């Protein structure tokens, strides 16, 4: 216990060391809780692939999971660090790629709308996994993003035609960015562009898709 005399005041102030320590811990905790999570909305441009169109009409169905997709990255101490919202960017990617792949593409809200349009198939992509690697954790001078997709092709009645997995990867040097948010955004956009290329080029090579296309021609 420390006893301190305050000049000009004829009394003693008793300062308890444990109380001071407790107040310091409380202030640190409050300052950390006030930092909060950084929100990152993925934005970018996605080029249209130059490929031969498949003569079919395809409906695209984006469920609520992909429309509102977000990924929460935690710090090494377990604090929420980055909330990455990328649902809109995924839809923009497919909206750029699919019209280059098929004769006619329409976006529907449900399978009933797809049946009413008389489409040949319904494309319903889903995100199964999103991973982020930050330089502060990997000790590498890059931001990295991995995305795992479940590509689903259905009949207008909802039966499966094909169901396959695609992964994409994006990497970006840190020194080209002013902030972590910029680095995360660019790595995610690179990963999305990687998906656009692999999806458009491999679509017709999926065995079930190839069989379906053959059945349309017979």
Is the pLDDT score of 8 beyond 90?
no
Q: Are 114 and 61 in contact (CB under 8 A)?
A: yes
Find, among 153, 183, 184, the residue nearest to 166 by Cα: 153
Confidence band, pLDDT 50/70/90 cuts, at residue 136: confident
Give the pLDDT confidence score for residue 28 in this predicted structure: 38
Q: How far is CA 111 from CA 43, 97, 158, in A?
A: 29, 21, 7
Give the pLDDT confidence score for residue 210 in this predicted structure: 96
Span 100-134, pLDDT tens digits: 999 999 999 988 999 999 999 999 999 999 999 99
Is the pLDDT score of 26 beyond 60?
no
Confidence band, pLDDT 50/70/90 cuts, at residue 174: low
Give the pLDDT confidence score for residue 105 in this predicted structure: 97
């Amino acid at each position: 216990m420390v006893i301190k005399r305050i000049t000009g005041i004829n009394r003693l102030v008793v300062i308890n060391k444990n109380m001071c320590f407790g107040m310091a811990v409380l202030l640190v905790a409050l300052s950390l809780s006030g930092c909060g999570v950084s929100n990152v909305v993925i934005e970018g441009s996605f080029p249209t692939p130059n490929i031969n169109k498949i003569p079919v009409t395809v409906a695209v169905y984006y469920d609520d999971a992909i429309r509102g997709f977000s990924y929460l990255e935690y710090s090494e101490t377990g604090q929420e660090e980055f909330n990455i919202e990328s649902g809109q960017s995924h839809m923009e990617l497919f909206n750029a790629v699919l019209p280059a792949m098929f004769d006619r593409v329409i976006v529907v809200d449900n399978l009933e709308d797809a049946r009413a349009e008389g489409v040949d198939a319904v494309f319903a992509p889903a995100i199964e996994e999103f991973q982020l690697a930050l330089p502060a954790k990997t000790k590498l001078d890059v931001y990295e993003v991995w995305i795992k997709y479940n590509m689903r092709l259905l009949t207008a009645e909802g039966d499966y035609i094909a169901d396959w997995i695609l992964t994409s990867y994006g990497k970006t040097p840190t020194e080209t960015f002013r902030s972590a948010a910029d680095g995360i955004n660019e790595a995610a956009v690179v990963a999305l562009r990687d998906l656009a290329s692999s999806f458009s080029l491999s679509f017709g090579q999926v065995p079930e898709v190839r069989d379906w296309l053959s059945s349309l021609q017979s």
